[in-house]
A and B are shown apart, each in its own frame.
Chain A
Amino acid sequence: MMDKDNLIRMLNEGLSVEEIPTISNLEELKELIESSNIDAEIKKRFHKNIEQLIKDTIWHSKAFSNMIRDVQNG
């Protein structure tokens, strides 16, 4: 059975992945698309996909934070 510290360390890694490289790259991608001359329709499509990815990533980050809290307090 996995001990509490190992489980929390694993969840910390998940949180790190979501909050640092994923969010960072998505925001950079969003800025590049917004400052490009891409056709408006394609831009709209990109915007929709990127916003979905950002929204899910924020949700994942909250989910990992909640799991850490639950394991710590459980």
Chain B
Amino acid sequence: MDKILEKLNTQLKLEKDSIELYDSFIQKIDKEEIKNRISAIRNDEIKHVELVEEMIKLIESAKNIIVNEKKEEQISIQGFLEDFSSTAVIVPLEKYPQTIADIISQLQMPCIYLSFNKMANYTKKMLESKKIDISKVKFATCINGSDDSISEPGNLTGLSIGLERMMKFDGKFYLFIDSLSAFTTYHSIEDIQKFVSFTNSKMQGKNAGVIWMIIKDENESIASKIGQLCDKTIKI
């Protein structure tokens, strides 16, 4: 029961923090159309607070709750770098954070984690909350103006150079790309395919590997086209 209540309180805090964050966005943004779209999301968060509060009341009134936790990993990455190196992982959004955690936790080797369009501190915190060792992970983004940005999102050559500069490891390592789906905002599928092919070859030459995360449903054609360029495709 304590664990459930803890998760519910975390959820309540996340929802309340989101309202505060989106309110601050609405105040700063001058484009009416974007403001309205964020307001709609903020209004959903207000309803979410009510849903979570309802669940907290329910759990507090329930008695003798036992949780039989059986933690099952959603993905097995066994054979990575021995039998295959370039890997496309196709995952639905709801399974995406846990899949990232499972991969980082199983591989336990130096890694460059490219959080293409998401702020890396959220991923770091999520992994830490799951007690995953991130001491061997170097984080980077393509968010303009962010401290850990290594390239502009629209510049794949710059991105390759930025990643290359970070590849200073003794022994085995891998590149984790989160996520290839986000590349479609800035690049054509043809350019993405060329980048994937080039990066796969480069990493193979270094005896290193690459994990390409692809969010399912977002772009089915990307998933099949990228899968063809990789040694292995894992669908969750």
Contact = CB atoms under 8 A, between A and B. Distances in A.
A binds B: yes
Interface of A: 1-2, 5-29, 31-33, 35-39, 42, 45-46, 49-50, 52-54, 56, 58, 60-65, 67-72
Nearest to A33: B4
A49 B96 CA distance: 20
A68 B28 contact: no
Contact of B7 (A32, A38, A54, A63): A32
Q: How large is the interface on B (under 10, 10 to 19, 20 to 34, 35 or more residues)?
A: 35 or more
A-B CB proximity, top 3 nearest: A24-B97, A16-B118, A29-B7
* Binding site secondary structure of chain A: helix
* Binding site secondary structure of chain B: helix
A26 B11 contact: yes
A53 B64 CA distance: 26
A25 B186 contact: no
A9 to B, nearest CB: 6
A32 B11 contact: no
Contact of A68 (B10, B93, B129, B185): B185
A65 B93 CA distance: 13
B185 A69 contact: yes
A38 B185 contact: no
Nearest to A73: B185
B122 A17 contact: yes
A70 B11 CA distance: 30
Nearest to B141: A12
B4 A32 contact: yes
Contact of A27 (B10, B51, B97): B97
Contacts of B186: 72
B122 to A, nearest CB: 4
A54 B52 CA distance: 12
A20 B130 CA distance: 12
B68 interface: yes
